[in-house]
């Protein structure tokens, strides 16, 4: 049996799809779907281009992180560098671009850890997690209207911040899960030279 047959009792089918809002950033859809029992329902969600988050590891083991005001949160958040994919941009190219734009750093080695889906109830967004090492500092070039502070922290400091509730950004917490299991040898990374 194919996956679709196995999950036929769970699957929802698109009957109609409508774009209900198109902003400069948010693309909002409302679809009518057919449910497994033959009834119908509405599903409202964001169409998102996808994103990357970067775990930049300095030669001394410290990690490069950012403090950035996140308007929906109404506060400054501690997080790993991240950004949205440009149209047709491969994730690694995006990771290299965002790391340099936001922090000034360039990396000689990269490894794709995995992907996470951060709002599966209402967004198509997937965020690829990329590790970067062999870092050299340089000049950042923030987008218009982008303000952030670049700093460094140890893994232990970030784990403490997570435990204390000071680091609550989901993608960054998942970077810590990857770091912890890479450190303890359970999960491995496939490093490649920067193209």
Question: Is residue 142 involved in binding a second copy (CB under 8 A)?
Answer: no
Q: Is 97 a residue that touches a second copy (CB under 8 A)?
A: no
CA angle 18, 22, 26 (to 5 degrees): 110
Q: Does 173 bind a second copy (CB under 8 A)?
A: yes
Q: Are 81 and 153 in contact (CB under 8 A)?
A: no
Nearest distance from C-beta of residue 28 to a second copy, angstroms: 6
The two three-digit tokens of residue 157, written as one number: 């400091």
Cα atoms in the Cβ-side hemisphere of radius 13 Å centred on 132: 33
Q: How many angstroms separate the CA atoms of 63 and 97, rounded? A: 18
Residue with tokens 């850890």: 113
Q: Contact region for a second copy (CB under 8 A) — 4-12, 55-63, 95-103, 134-142?
A: 4-12
What phi-psi label fits residue 38: left (phi over 0), alpha (psi between -120 and 50 degrees) or beta? left
Range in contact with a second copy (rule: CB under 8 A) among 57-65, 96-104, 122-130, 133-141? 122-130
- Asked if 33 is part of the footprint of a second copy (rule: CB under 8 A), the reply reads yes
Q: Quick check: 120 binds a second copy (CB under 8 A)?
A: yes
Task: Work out how close the CB of 119 gets to a second copy at its nearest, in angstroms, rounded to a whole number.
Answer: 5
Spell out the residues 6+ positions from residue 51 whose beta carbon is closer than 8 angstroms to its own: 82, 83, 84, 85, 94, 125, 126, 127, 128
Q: Which helix (H) or strand (E) holds 83?
A: strand 82-84
- Residue 25 interacts with a second copy (CB under 8 A): yes or no: yes
Nearest-approach distance from CB 22 to a second copy, in angstroms: 10
Would you tell me which residues interact with a second copy (CB under 8 A)?
7, 9-12, 20-21, 23-26, 28, 30-31, 33, 35-37, 39, 41-46, 67-73, 76-77, 79, 114-127, 145, 147-149, 159, 162-163, 165, 168-171, 173-174, 176-177, 180-181, 186-187
């Amino acid at each position: 049996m194919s996956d679709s047959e196995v999950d036929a009792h769970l699957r929802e089918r698109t009957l109609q799809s409508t774009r209900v809002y198109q902003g400069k950033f948010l693309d909002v859809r409302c679809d009518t779907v057919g449910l497994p029992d033959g009834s119908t329902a509405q599903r409202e969600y964001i169409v998102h281009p996808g994103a990357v988050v970067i775990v930049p590891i300095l030669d001394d083991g410290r990690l490069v992180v950012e403090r950035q005001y996140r308007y929906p949160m109404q506060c400054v958040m501690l997080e790993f560098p991240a950004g949205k994919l440009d149209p047709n941009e491969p994730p690694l190219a995006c990771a290299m671009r965002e790391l340099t734009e936001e922090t000034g750093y360039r990396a000689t080695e990269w490894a794709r850890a995995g992907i996470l889906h951060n709002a599966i109830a209402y967004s198509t967004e997937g965020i690829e997690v990329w590790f970067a090492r062999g870092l050299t500092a340089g000049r950042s070039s923030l987008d218009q209207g982008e303000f952030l502070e670049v700093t460094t922290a140890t893994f232990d400091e970030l784990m403490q911040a997570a435990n204390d509730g000071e680091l609550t950004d989901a993608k960054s917490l998942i970077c810590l899960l990857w770091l912890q299991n890479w450190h303890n040898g359970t999960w491995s990374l496939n490093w490649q030279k920067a193209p």
